[in-house]
Amino acid sequence: MPDTSKPGEKIIDHHAGHRERLRARFIAAPSALPDYELLELILFRTIPRRDVKPLAKDLIALFGSFGAVIHAEPARLKEIKGIKDATVADFAIARETSLRLAQAKVMKREVISSWAALLDYCSASMAHNTIEQFRILFLDRQNVLIADEVQQTGTIDHTPVYPREVVKRALALNASSIILVHNHPSGDPSPSAADIEMTKKIVETAKPLGISIHDHLVIGKGRHASFRTLGLI
């Protein structure tokens, strides 16, 4: 809505009451807010004096979820009327904050006792990626996570992985075991034949050097697959 106020005229924000009530509800019970209202709170910062509820609902309908909106590509977001660079930046801040909080729950911790937190972290960092990403979690002798690194980034359905490079990096970090992780942008975490064959090659390359493959996780949208649980390792 354009600003039609005259110089010196007091501007009345007709949406201020709704914004204050929503902020108060959030402070009182953050988890009680539906996704679109949480998104409204973020939009408030960069879109003043406008009812952003329709925009929040439209964004969730378009991308499918609150998480998908926050992880959407900046170029795609800026195609939408009302979304500015500042809004895209706020989404990026929310995304990075969430990721760092999830990472803090697993780094330098014993992985087996933090397995649910580890899955949450992997999902937060990879589930919404539009291209495949292959990362490695390096563990010490006590199964403490000592490093998390992206090894390769590929296309929408393929990531080139080189077993010797995986093992070389594990040796450099003095890791005793590793967890392989990659995402399926399709959302279906079912391991492909190529996933299984690649994992087999990494296991064969790592074993003579005393490095074990603790698991290979495939991250989908809201789901994951574990090679160990499936009996593939």
pTM, to two decimals: 0.75
108-226: CATH number? 3.40.140.10
Q: Please give the pLDDT value at position 221.
A: 86
Domain 16-100, second-level architecture: Orthogonal Bundle (1.10)
Residue 233 above 90 pLDDT?
A: no
φ, ψ of residue 213 in degrees (nearest 5): -100, 105
- Under the banding of pLDDT at 50, 70 and 90, the label for residue 129 is confident
Among 46-50, 60-64, 189-193, the minimum mean pLDDT is found in 46-50
Among 4-13, 105-114, 214-223, the minimum mean pLDDT is found in 4-13
Residue 156 above 60 pLDDT?
A: no
- Under the banding of pLDDT at 50, 70 and 90, the label for residue 111 is confident
Domain segments of the chain as ranges: 16-100, 108-226
* Residues 92-107 as b or e (16 or more Cβ within 10 Å = b): eebbeebeeebbeebb
Interatomic CA distance for residues 150 and 181, integer angstroms: 9
